[in-house]
A = this chain, B = another copy of it.
Amino acid sequence: MSKYWSDTIRNIKPYVPGEQPQDMKYIKLNTNENPYPPSPKVMEAIQNYDLRRLRLYPDNECNGVRKAAADYYGLEKSQVFVGNGSDEVLAFAFMAFFNPGSTILFPEISYSFYPVYCELFKINFKTVPLDEEFNIGTNGFFQPNNGIVIANPNAPTAKCMSTEQIISILEKNPENVVIIDEAYIDYGGESMMKYIKDYPNLLIISTFSKSRSLAGLRIGLAFGQVELIEGINRVKNSINSYTIDSIALKGAEAAFADEAYFQENRKRIIKTRSRVISALKKMNFQVTDSCANFLFIGHQQCPAATIFKELRNRGILVRYFNKPKIDNYLRVSIGSDEEMDEFLKAVNEIITDFI
């Protein structure tokens, strides 16, 4: 604690990201990265960038990426915001739409960054309980509130809500912004993208870090009607006019250019996921129905903390959240088939040894 720190940061508990060991010695199933490289078209676009131009500032409006994203989703460029990863976009959206002292709602178990933003920006929050199988109901979102945030699919539970459920939440809350965080939508959920024209209070957050294999490039997006996008831009332009470097912009522009690669990559992960779920169920794991590129698993006899530690000893990183209601679960990213075979083998050994 320093006497120079502002009151806000004295008390805050910052978000703790999953480990990023730089030595490449681990099987990394802890941060929901894509096991496969980005599209060759993205890599080519980056290689073709003239590095001498780095002396100049980037396009602060990210016009190329916004145009590409708008075309892909059938929207206008003015309905797209591009930021430095979806976390930055979420932070900007919280500042743009939620007043300090007001109260927003999000699910009891969800992305653990949401309460951090609330603490930082002095927004109150109330959590909506899930049922025993981690399903998010709609009723909890029909109470008075000043804003709503829902990850769909939810993290770390991997479970989806239907578009009908989300529409009912949007319709019951016409005066408040409802943020749907679709970071993992490409792995099984149904996107709300086609409803942007119908709901002025709908803001969709998306990222290139998962299904586009570009966690290292730092590209997050927001989609919504023009007024919402303009609101986020007002925050951005009051913090940092240029949040994405020129090389990343070039790569990101090409991210939608290779639909075949994207679909193949996506399906490959879904296929691996099915296989791993079956294998884990045979070992008596509880596994939620995953719509994401990760699994949320718990074992009836062997504590999650033990499995976490033992996996780490064997060079396999997964995520363990030591929090109420989920402290006997692990979040496991879907890696390549080879990586998941190693994981299954290790987990089988650990459980056999324990029991």
Contacts and interface: CB of A to CB of B under 8 A. Distances in A.
Given A14-B238, A52-B38, A85-B240, A57 B4 contact: no
Interface in A90-130: 91, 95-100, 116-117, 119-120
A238 B57 CA distance: 26
Contact of A56 (B33, B95, B239, B241): B33
A43 B51 contact: yes
B54 A88 contact: no
A9 interface: yes
Given A20-B60, A85-B242, A248-B247, A216 B55 contact: yes
A95 B38 CA distance: 36
A48 to B, nearest CB: 12
A237 interface: yes
Interface string A224-242: 0001101101111111111
A214 interface: yes
A245 interface: yes
A16 to B, nearest CB: 8
Nearest to A18: B57
A55 B33 contact: yes
B55 A9 contact: no
B55 A231 contact: no
B243 A56 contact: no
A45 to B, nearest CB: 10
A195 interface: no
Interface string A41-53: 0110011000111
Interface in A242-265: 242-248, 251
Interface residues on A, range: 35 or more
Contacts of A17: 57, 60, 237, 241-242
A38 B55 contact: yes
A4 B177 contact: yes
Most interface-central of A47, A235, A239 (chain B CB within 10 A):
A239
Nearest to A239: B91
A6 to B, nearest CB: 5
A55 B35 contact: yes
Interface of A: 2-9, 12, 14-17, 20, 22, 28, 31, 33-38, 42-43, 46-47, 51-60, 63, 84-85, 87-88, 91, 95-100, 116-117, 119-120, 175-177, 200-201, 209, 213-218, 227-228, 230-231, 233-248, 251
15 contacts: A6-B96, A9-B96, A9-B235, A15-B237, A28-B56, A34-B55, A37-B51, A37-B54, A37-B55, A43-B52, A54-B213, A55-B216, A57-B209, A84-B84, A87-B241
Which 10 pairs of residues, A with B, have the shortest CB-CB distance? A14-B237, A2-B227, A216-B246, A37-B52, A54-B216, A17-B241, A88-B240, A55-B213, A43-B51, A87-B240
